[in-house]
Amino acid sequence: MITQLLIILGAALILVGFWGVLTRKHIVKIIISFSILDTGIHLIMVGIGYIKDGSAPIIDQEMPVSRLAGNVVDPIPSALVLTAIVIGVAVTALMLSYAVQLYTFYKTVSIEQIKELKW
């Protein structure tokens, strides 16, 4: 149930992200759309790692080692999503730097006016 919910939500965000990437003209909005897209993917990843009635895979008093199996969510997708988020941040930072440089050279933020290279 939760997996399905998260995946539907994630898929919706991915679509919104693609829509933004394909229709927004402002390059910063495009960058934001990519962030939305990324978030959607991360949601799906988290959703896929969910195990029915699972809690965080961390050992403490309530969750001794013996109880772990069957009661915690899958740690692998959590680990992957962590990496994916950091990579997303890195790409976003680079995109924003590009946006700054494009603005200084082209004096515009519209992607439609940044097309001197073609054919």
Q: Which of the residues 25 through 44 are near another protein (CB under 8 A)? A: 25, 27, 30, 34, 37-38, 41, 44
Asked if residue 55 lies in contact with residue 73, where contact means CB atoms within 8 angstroms, the answer is yes
Report, in Å, the least distance between residue 73 CB and another protein: 8
Number of chain residues interacting with another protein (CB under 8 A): 77
53-112 binders of another protein (CB under 8 A): 56-60, 65, 68-70, 72, 74-80, 82-87, 89-91, 93-106, 111-112
Q: Which residues lie closer than 8 Å to 16 by C-beta, 6 or more apart?
A: 33, 36, 37, 40
